């Protein structure tokens, strides 16, 4: 057994190795404690003395060459094997993570609208859902014999009446005007989101519970022009800058002058479709200058202060924004619906 | 309401086409909802706001058109609309029980009436606005109602018993058959016109069948009156009918319009029925005085944000029928015509001027913002917004359920009947009660989704609950969630999956995540007799957690699946939550792990074990975690095997094995002492 033939065999064997385990075995065969090289080294003693030094040198050189060959092979194998071990996971499988839940579309619309007004200095106030006749009607300049006060337009509650009249479920978020103004002095600017209730039979466009946002601002010299300015800003934020709008005279007991706000139909781009009733306009807000009687009710000096107020139905805006055609979807809570937003 | 374009043209010289006029009407507050072409006419469907009874007539809308187009109203003189019926006595008389119910009543008696078909021009007009032609007498009453806005009624005088006509409340259980053949049982809430034998008409709503005008009628009594709007509204609601007449009376008419209509009808009766007026009887409260308002032109500017000259203001108001006189350069006195009962204060004049001037011409501007330091920047609203975002991160979907529920829904979720707030006038039994808990509605929504074959359902809702406390209504925001079903969880790297079933520990985990997010750690779950758990913080009840009762689920058609839910009092959490955190230095020295495997009785709380371990080696223990839980062979029945992993590291040096060994021993000793633990 000579060095040359060992090297030849080794080189041959190395080419056949294709994994780390067999390389390790081969390494034991050559470099192990009882390996071929150890045998070569121990064979030195049996040589004639004059050959020993030269052969010993030769064995040492061979040993380091063998070491080198193994290192080389190891590096080669590692270079190949690493990507191989990564391929164990199939990256085409769906990723693994906690599924996120979704925000209800009504909440999304409320939060979007509140944030817009908050950015321009409005304060967010939430009123009570159980209210009195005073806050829901009388204080808002809705007289005792007004049709809205009839039992089929308002849910009344089985509770003893108080100084402010009977208890009821608020039929509009305008109640917050009375409550918020009563404990604040001008200048004030408030938006108030929340649930409201009216005894309507449930169908595709009616519900006995829905959401509104009320907004109002009172200060010295607040005018109808300001109402237009603030609502234009708002509408362009929510529906986009290319939407046109119009202020149409209307009647609300708690505002004077009053206006309904229409936007150009976002479904048909004002060409006329079933959603806008072929008119090209969609009614989205009620608004006006706060009636002096309301300001008087909360103790504001009507010679000094004026203000505007506006209100909108959230379901309507959400239906327009997302193209939803049935209001019942909002309370059905079907995951196939909720998961879309 | 329907308005005929051709009919309008009798009163205003309109030179623009119907659709342009529709646009202008809409932008003045008479919203045109649709235009229909009928023969040579166009008919507008207009939405009339509730304050404008005067717009429920051709003349009212024509007046508006004239103001918008800056033209004069025509043809008024021809119909002598400004005259009043002159008193002319006959043997008949009127008796009004309460003039508050009927502030004005006129009865005109016509003899020699020739009943027959109406002339073509009249039929065309009323048919255009959707009214069927009956005969000339009835058609005249309808024609005048549409033209002037005051409903009239014609009686066959010969069919009325006695000489006196009574305007009074119905007696209980009195009945009448109206012209449509319906029999009505009346109460004292109904106002009727009666003869000596009983009711002959439902005042302001509908006439009676037995006294209606027919082809044999010779003597007609023509009624024109004012009735209390509220009485008419409640009356027609109680009878379940609505008519063109009640619609107008409800909105509130004025005496001048009624008197004009009486005279206008008389003119037509004479002309078209060859009738002779033999009697005019009128009974009324004193007519109200003309209202005069004083207003400065600067008032308009302050409210509108645009300066209008006093001449512009007075021009617009005059066009609308107001009489305006200048008191000073600034100050105007405005006399309000009787048909404008909606104008009560100067602010109402601002609306009149601005809508005719045109809202679109008022420039938009932004108010100057005043920065305020007294506002709360983090309120309950913001707290809720933040929590909703956390819950979404936990995989819960937001639901919205009704605040009103029925009694049955609450069964198993609420026991305290006496604090429930009930609705006086629910439309259905599903709207009887204001809910004191969100859970049943949310659980229903979860069950609905399970029935739709959803594998995993996780819903939350943040809304108010309601109850009464000594007759005082209370409302509080609650957070609730409900979970059910199974989730497939994949394990790397071998890509095997396990089925993760939603359960009580998942429910508890969500509760704990919410609480720890809010900086609330000292909570306890207290088992209740009914199988639910109360969640308490420092002895205060802040919520509860439960597995939904099988019966409830069976009723909702959910079998073989469990639903778990919890609710938390958000307003309490808002008070208790700690946003502030103090920094605590952490050890940067290498950490060592030691596992402890113990066997304890089933009843021993794992949380207590973890707590005891932490407490024993507070200064060096960084984390204690359960890594194994086992029951069954070879562990004896009634015992469980828990393995916890403790992570140690020193504050100021690297801990050696020699330091940890005595701590580990101390912990073991304590566990065996407190919990009777044995070690494996």
At B642-679, the pLDDT tens digits run 999 999 999 889 999 899 999 999 999 999 999 999 99
Closest-CA residue in chain A for B400?
A331
For A101, the closest of B362, B391, B492 (CB atoms) is: B391
Rounded alpha-carbon distances, angstroms, from residue B584 to A179, B522, B622, B642, B652: 44, 19, 12, 30, 14
Residue B575 CB contacts under 8 Å (≥ 6 apart), including other chains: none
Closest-CA residue in chain A for B352?
A257
For domain B380-576, say whether CATH 3.30.70.1400 is its number.
Answer: no
For A226, the closest of B305, B379, B449 (CB atoms) is: B305
For B230, the closest of A145, A195, A225 (CB atoms) is: A145
- Residues of chain A positioned with their CB less than 8 A from the CB of B305: 223-226
Interface mutation target, options B22, B23, B303, chain A, most CBs of A under 10 Å: B303
Confidence tier at B435 by pLDDT (50, 70, 90):
very high
- Residues of chain A positioned with their CB less than 8 A from the CB of B445: 332-333
The torsion region of residue A327 among left (phi > 0), alpha (psi -120 to 50) and beta comes to alpha
Return d(Cα B19, Cα B266) in angstroms, integer: 35
Closest-CA residue in chain B for A193?
B381
pLDDT at B79 over 70: no
Return d(Cα B196, Cα B194) in angstroms, integer: 7
Confidence tier at B25 by pLDDT (50, 70, 90):
very high
**Closest by alpha carbon to B58, among B20, B124, B24, B10?**
B10
Query: Cβ B458–A101 below 8 Å, yes or no?
Result: yes
Domain residue ranges in chain A = 3-86, 105-338
pLDDT at B452 over 50: yes
**Phi then psi for A269, rounded to 5 degrees?**
55, 45
Closest-CA residue in chain B for A200?
B427
Task: State the pairing for strand pair A188-197/B183-185.
Answer: unpaired
Superfamily holding B592-679: Ferrodoxin-fold anticodon-binding domain (3.30.70.380)
- Residues of chain B positioned with their CB less than 8 A from the CB of A224: 303-305, 354, 359, 362
In the predicted model, what is the mean pLDDT of chain B?
93
Q: Which two tokens stand for residue B660?
A: 């940890």
Confidence tier at B84 by pLDDT (50, 70, 90):
low
**Phi then psi for B476, rounded to 5 degrees?**
-140, 140
Helices (H), B120-243: 120-128, 136-148, 229-239
Taking the CA of residue B89 and the nearest CA in chain A, the distance in Å comes to 37
Lowest mean pLDDT among A8-22, B171-185, B331-345: A8-22
- Read off the pLDDT of residues B45-74 as tens digits, 9 standing for 90 and up: 999 999 999 999 999 999 999 999 999 888
- Residues of chain A positioned with their CB less than 8 A from the CB of B351: 249, 256-258
Number of residue pairs across A and B with CB atoms under 8 Å?
Answer: 243
**Closest by alpha carbon to A299, among A180, A146, A195, A189?**
A180
For A123, the closest of B375, B459, B492 (CB atoms) is: B375
Query: Cβ B351–A114 below 8 Å, yes or no?
Result: no
Lowest mean pLDDT among A90-94, B286-290, B466-470, B611-615: A90-94
Interface mutation target, options A107, A108, A173, A225, chain B, most CBs of B under 10 Å: A225
Taking the CA of residue B675 and the nearest CA in chain A, the distance in Å comes to 36
pLDDT at A72 over 90: no
Rounded alpha-carbon distances, angstroms, from residue B427 to A200, A207, B400, B507: 8, 11, 20, 36
Closest-CA residue in chain B for A100?
B395
Closest-CA residue in chain A for B477?
A128
Query: Cβ B490–A93 below 8 Å, yes or no?
Result: yes
Confidence tier at B75 by pLDDT (50, 70, 90):
low
Confidence tier at A83 by pLDDT (50, 70, 90):
low
Query: Cβ A219–B31 below 8 Å, yes or no?
Result: no
Query: Cβ A333–B399 below 8 Å, yes or no?
Result: yes
- Residues of chain A positioned with their CB less than 8 A from the CB of B423: 155-158, 169
Confidence tier at A81 by pLDDT (50, 70, 90):
low
CB atoms within 10 A of CB B472: 12
Helix (H, G, I), strand (E, B) or coil at B276: strand
Given this structure, which CATH class describes domain B293-334+342-359?
alpha beta
Residue B413 CB contacts under 8 Å (≥ 6 apart), including other chains: B437, B439, B440
Query: Cβ B31–A201 below 8 Å, yes or no?
Result: no
Identify the pLDDT of residue A61: 86
Lowest mean pLDDT among A31-35, A109-113, B567-571: A31-35
Query: Cβ A158–B424 below 8 Å, yes or no?
Result: yes
CATH topology of domain B93-284: Phenylalanyl-tRNA Synthetase; Chain B, domain 3 (3.50.40)
Query: Cβ A103–B464 below 8 Å, yes or no?
Result: no
Query: Cβ A333–B31 below 8 Å, yes or no?
Result: no
- Read off the pLDDT of residues B570-613 as tens digits, 9 standing for 90 and up: 999 999 998 888 998 888 999 999 999 999 999 999 999 999 99
User: Which architecture, in CATH terms, is B2-75?
Assistant: 2-Layer Sandwich (3.30)
- Read off the pLDDT of residues B501-534 as tens digits, 9 standing for 90 and up: 999 999 999 999 999 999 998 899 999 999 999 9
Taking the CA of residue A176 and the nearest CA in chain B, the distance in Å comes to 15
Identify the pLDDT of residue A13: 86
pLDDT at A323 over 50: yes
Query: Cβ B434–A157 below 8 Å, yes or no?
Result: yes
For A129, the closest of B34, B388, B464 (CB atoms) is: B464
Rounded alpha-carbon distances, angstroms, from residue B495 to A88, B486, B499: 9, 18, 13
Taking the CA of residue B574 and the nearest CA in chain A, the distance in Å comes to 15
Domain residue ranges in chain B = 2-75, 93-284, 293-334+342-359, 380-576, 592-679
CATH fold match for the domains B2-75 and B293-334+342-359: yes
CA dihedral sign of residues A188, A193, A199, A204:
positive
Identify the pLDDT of residue B87: 72
Query: Cβ B427–A199 below 8 Å, yes or no?
Result: yes
CATH topology of domain A105-338: BirA Bifunctional Protein; domain 2 (3.30.930)
Taking the CA of residue B363 and the nearest CA in chain A, the distance in Å comes to 6
């Amino acid at each position: 057994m000579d060095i040359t033939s060992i090297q030849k065999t080794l080189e041959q064997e190395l080419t056949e190795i294709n994994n780390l385990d067999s390389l390790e075995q081969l390494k034991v065969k050559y470099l192990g404690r009882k390996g071929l090289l150890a045998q070569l080294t121990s064979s030195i003693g049996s040589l004639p003395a004059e050959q020993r030094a030269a052969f010993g040198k030769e064995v040492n050189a061979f040993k380091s060459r063998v070491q080198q060959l193994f290192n080389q092979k190891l590096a080669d194998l590692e270079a190949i094997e690493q990507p191989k071990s990564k391929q164990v996971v199939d990256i085409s499988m769906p990723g693994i993570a906690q599924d996120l839940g979704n925000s209800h579309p009504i909440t999304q619309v409320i939060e979007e609208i509140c944030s817009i007004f908050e950015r321009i200095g409005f304060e967010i106030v939430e009123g009570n859902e159980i209210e009195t006749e005073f806050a829901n009607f009388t204080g808002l300049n809705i007289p005792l014999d007004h049709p809205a006060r009839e039992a089929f337009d308002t849910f009344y509650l089985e509770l003893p009446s108080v100084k402010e009249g009977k208890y009821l479920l608020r039929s509009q978020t305008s109640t917050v005007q009375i409550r918020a103004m009563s404990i604040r002095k001008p200048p004030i600017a408030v938006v108030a989101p929340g649930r409201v209730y009216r005894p309507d039979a449930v169908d595709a466009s009616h519900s006995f519970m829905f959401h509104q946002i009320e907004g109002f601002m009172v200060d010295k010299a607040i005018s109808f022009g300001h109402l237009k300015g603030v609502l234009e800003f708002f509408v362009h934020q929510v529906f986009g800058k290319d939407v046109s709008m119009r202020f149409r005279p209307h009647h609300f007991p708690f505002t004077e002058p009053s206006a309904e706000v229409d936007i150009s139909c976002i479904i048909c781009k004002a060409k006329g479709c079933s959603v806008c009733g072929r008119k090209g306009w969609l009614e989205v807000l009620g608004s006006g200058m706060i009636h002096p009687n309301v300001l008087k009710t909360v103790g504001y000096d009507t010679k000094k202060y004026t203000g505007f107020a506006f209100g909108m139905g959230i379901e309507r805006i959400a239906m327009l924004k997302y193209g939803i055609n049935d209001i019942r979807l909002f309370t059905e809570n079907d995951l196939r619906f909720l998961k879309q937003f | 309401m329907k308005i005929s374009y051709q009919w309008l043209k009798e009163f205003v010289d309109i030179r623009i086409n119907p659709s342009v006029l529709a646009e202008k009407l809409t932008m003045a507050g008479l919203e045109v909802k649709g235009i229909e072409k009928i023969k040579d006419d166009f008919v507008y469907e207009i939405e009339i706001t509730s304050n404008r009874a005067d717009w429920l007539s051709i003349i009212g809308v024509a007046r508006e058109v004239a103001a918008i187009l800056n033209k004069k109203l025509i043809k008024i003189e021809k119909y002598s609309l400004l005259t009043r019926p002159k008193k002319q006595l006959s043997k008949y008389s009127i008796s009004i029980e309460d003039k508050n119910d009927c502030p004005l009543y006129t009865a005109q008696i016509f003899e020699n009436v020739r009943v027959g078909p109406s002339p073509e021009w009249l039929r065309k007009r009323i048919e255009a606005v959707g009214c069927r032609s009956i005969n000339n007498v009835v058609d005249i009453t309808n024609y005048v109602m549409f033209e002037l806005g005051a409903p009239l009624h014609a009686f066959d005088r010969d069919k009325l018993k006695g000489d006196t006509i009574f305007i009074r409340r119905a007696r209980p259980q009195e009945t009448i058959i109206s012209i449509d053949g319906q029999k009505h049982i009346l109460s004292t809430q109904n106002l009727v016109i009666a003869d000596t034998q009983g009711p002959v008409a439902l005042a302001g709503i509908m006439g009676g069948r037995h006294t209606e005008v027919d082809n044999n009628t010779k003597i007609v009594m023509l009624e024109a009156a004012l009735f209390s709007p509220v009485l008419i509204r409640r009356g027609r609601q109680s009878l379940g009918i609505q008519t063109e007449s009640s619609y107008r009376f409800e909105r509130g008419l004025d005496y001048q319009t009624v008197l004009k209509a009486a005279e206008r009808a008389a003119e037509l009766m004479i002309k078209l029925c060859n009738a002779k007026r033999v009697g005019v009887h009128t009974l009324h409260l004193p007519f109200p005085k003309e209202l005069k308002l004083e207003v400065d032109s600067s008032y308009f500017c302050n409210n509108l944000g645009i300066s209008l000259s006093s001449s512009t203001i007075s021009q617009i108001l005059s066009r609308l029928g107001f009489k305006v006189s200048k008191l000073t350069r600034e100050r105007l006195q405005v006399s309000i015509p009787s048909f404008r009962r909606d104008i009560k204060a100067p602010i109402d004049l601002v609306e009149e001027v601005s809508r005719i001037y045109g809202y679109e011409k008022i420039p938009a501007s932004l108010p100057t913002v005043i920065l305020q330091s007294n506002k709360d920047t983090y309120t309950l609203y913001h707290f809720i917004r933040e929590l909703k975002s956390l819950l979404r991160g936990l995989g819960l979907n937001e639901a919205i359920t009704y605040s009103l529920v029925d009694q049955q829904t609450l069964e198993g979720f609420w026991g305290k009947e006496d604090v429930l707030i009930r609705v006086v006038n629910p439309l259905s039994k599903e709207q009887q009660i204001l809910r004191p808990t969100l859970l049943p509605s949310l659980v229903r929504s979860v069950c609905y989704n399970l029935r739709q074959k959803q594998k995993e359902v996780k819903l939350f809702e943040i809304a108010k609950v309601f109850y009464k406390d000594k007759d005082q209504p209370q409302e509080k925001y609650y957070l609730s969630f409900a979970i059910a079903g199974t989730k497939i969880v994949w394990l790397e790297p071998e890509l095997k999956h396990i089925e993760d079933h939603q359960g009580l520990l998942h429910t508890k985990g969500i509760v704990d995540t919410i609480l720890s997010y809010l900086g609330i750690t000292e909570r306890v779950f207290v088992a209740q007799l009914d199988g639910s758990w109360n969640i308490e913080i420092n002895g205060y009840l802040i919520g509860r957690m439960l597995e939904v009762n099988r019966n409830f689920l069976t009723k909702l058609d959910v079998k073989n699946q469990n639903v778990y839910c919890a609710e938390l009092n958000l307003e309490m959490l808002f008070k208790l939550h700690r946003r502030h955190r103090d920094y605590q230095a952490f050890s940067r020295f290498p950490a060592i792990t030691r596992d402890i495997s113990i066997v304890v009785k089933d009843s021993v709380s794992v949380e207590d074990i973890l707590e005891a371990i932490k407490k024993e080696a507070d200064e060096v223990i960084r984390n204690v975690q359960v890594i194994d839980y086992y029951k069954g062979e070879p562990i004896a029945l009634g015992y469980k095997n828990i393995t916890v992993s403790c992570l140690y590291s020193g504050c100021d040096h690297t801990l050696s094995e020699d330091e940890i060994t005595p701590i580990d021993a101390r912990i073991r000793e304590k566990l065996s002492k407190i919990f009777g633990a044995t070690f494996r």
